[in-house]
């Protein structure tokens, strides 16, 4: 026969187990939301700038209006108009790499917003020669100021809820970087929809680029949205399947 005491003990035991399970489930759900970034309120704006049609991205915290501008390549006034219209406070100008088509509005944006200019040290000399590079293409790009700070692989650049993790993806240029947010990655000229960056410019190297992409980009989940330095957006899964440099038939695997 079961006594009342035993019953009470069992009830207590059951309640503790129930409480622990509920708490674990709640915590798991909470961390899942954090991981997937579902709770983030961000605004992403793409502007196509300059004669080489560079994608300049503005990523901003919807509430605090703090923002990061990625690759202000040209058309400074257009970028500044958006920033003013939306009331963004630009904290950083982040440069995926120093080629002239990605840095032409650096000076104007820095002067107007006071934002810090960030680049990987490996591409600092490339950025310093932007004006000269553009002349070789028959264009005339405004020289960029020097970077305020160098970023390296693993660094995280934050502006309000925006947090961009730096991935060093050399090959198109020595200090090329990609920038990872929850569920999205900005790849500069490393990876494009259906192609990869050219490697015939000074400091470029095909096998280095393939290795960068395989190690740092193709390891991301298939549904990761890819925002490229030129052309349309894609996903990691799509490139894994269709990109002639990266799929099973490429010969690079």
> Could you give the string, one character per residue 196-235, with x where binding to Zn ion holds by CB under 5 A and - elsewhere?
---------------------------------x------
- Taking the least distance from each CB to Zn ion, the nearer of 104 and 229 is 229
Write the binding mask 145 to 184 for Zn ion: x where contact by CB under 5 A, - elsewhere: ----------------------------------------
Q: Within 13 Å and on the Cβ side, how many CA atoms surround 94?
A: 32
What minimum distance in Å lies between the beta carbon of 188 and Zn ion?
7
As measured in angstroms, the least distance from the Cβ of 55 to Zn ion is 9
Residues 6 or more apart whose Cβ sits within 8 Å of residue 134: 100, 101, 104, 140, 141
CB of 96 to Zn ion, least distance (A): 8
Q: Which is nearer to Zn ion, 72 or 229 (CB)?
A: 229
Distance CA 7, CA 72 (A): 70
Q: State in angstroms the smallest separation of the CB of 54 from Zn ion.
A: 6
Count the neighbouring beta carbons within 10 Å of the beta carbon of residue 22. Answer: 10
Range 101-120, binding Zn ion (CB under 5 A): 101
List, in sequence order, every residue forming a beta bridge with 253; answer none if it has no partner.
none
Establish if 189 lies at the interface with Zn ion (CB under 5 A): yes
Which CB sits closer to Zn ion, 61 or 239? 239
Nearest CA among 120, 96, 98 for reference residue 191:
96
Contact by Cβ (8 Å): 95, 118: yes
Contact 157, 80 (CB under 8 A): no
Query: How many residues are present in the chain?
Result: 253
Structure tokens at 15: 């309640």
Nearest to 170 by CA among 189, 144, 157: 189
Question: Are the CB atoms for 177 and 169 separated by under 8 Å?
Answer: yes
65-104 footprint of Zn ion as x/- string (CB under 5 A) = ----------------------------------x-x---
Nearer to Zn ion, 99 or 110 (CB): 99
Q: Name which of 85 and 200 has its Cβ closer to Zn ion.
A: 200
In this structure, the number of other CB atoms found within 10 A of the CB of residue 26 comes to 10
What does residue 68 show for φ and ψ, rounded to 5 degrees? -125, 135
Residue 49 CB, nearest approach to Zn ion (Å): 11
Smallest gap, in angstroms, from Cβ of residue 198 to Zn ion? 7
Residue 160 or 176 having the CB closest to Zn ion: 176
Nearer to Zn ion, 89 or 211 (CB): 211
The binding site for Zn ion (CB under 5 A) comprises 99, 101, 189, 229
């Amino acid at each position: 026969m079961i006594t009342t005491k035993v019953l009470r003990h069992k009830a207590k035991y059951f309640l503790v187990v129930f409480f622990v399970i509920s708490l674990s489930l709640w915590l798991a759900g909470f961390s899942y939301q954090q991981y997937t970034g579902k709770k983030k309120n961000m605004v992403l704006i793409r502007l196509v700038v300059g004669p080489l049609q560079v994608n300049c991205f503005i990523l901003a915290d919807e509430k605090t209006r703090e923002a990061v501008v990625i690759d202000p390549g040209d058309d400074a006034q257009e970028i500044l108009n958006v920033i003013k219209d939306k009331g963004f406070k630009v904290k950083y100008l982040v440069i995926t790499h120093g080629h002239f088509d990605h840095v032409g509005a650096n000076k104007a944006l820095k002067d107007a917003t006071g934002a810090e200019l960030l680049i990987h040290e490996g591409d600092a000399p490339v950025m310093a020669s932007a004006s000269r590079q553009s002349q070789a293409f028959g264009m005339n790009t405004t020289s960029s100021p020097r970077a305020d700070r160098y970023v390296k692989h693993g660094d995280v650049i934050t502006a309000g809820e925006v947090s961009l993790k730096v991935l060093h993806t050399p090959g198109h240029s020595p200090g090329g970087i990609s920038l990872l947010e929850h569920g999205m990655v900005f790849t500069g000229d490393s990876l494009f929809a259906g192609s990869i960056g050219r490697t015939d410019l000074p400091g470029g190297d095909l096998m280095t680029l393939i290795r960068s992409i395989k190690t740092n980009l193709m390891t991301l989940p298939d549904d990761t949205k890819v925002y490229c330095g030129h052309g349309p957006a894609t996903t990691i899964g799509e490139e894994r399947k269709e990109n002639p440099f990266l799929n099973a038939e490429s010969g690079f695997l």
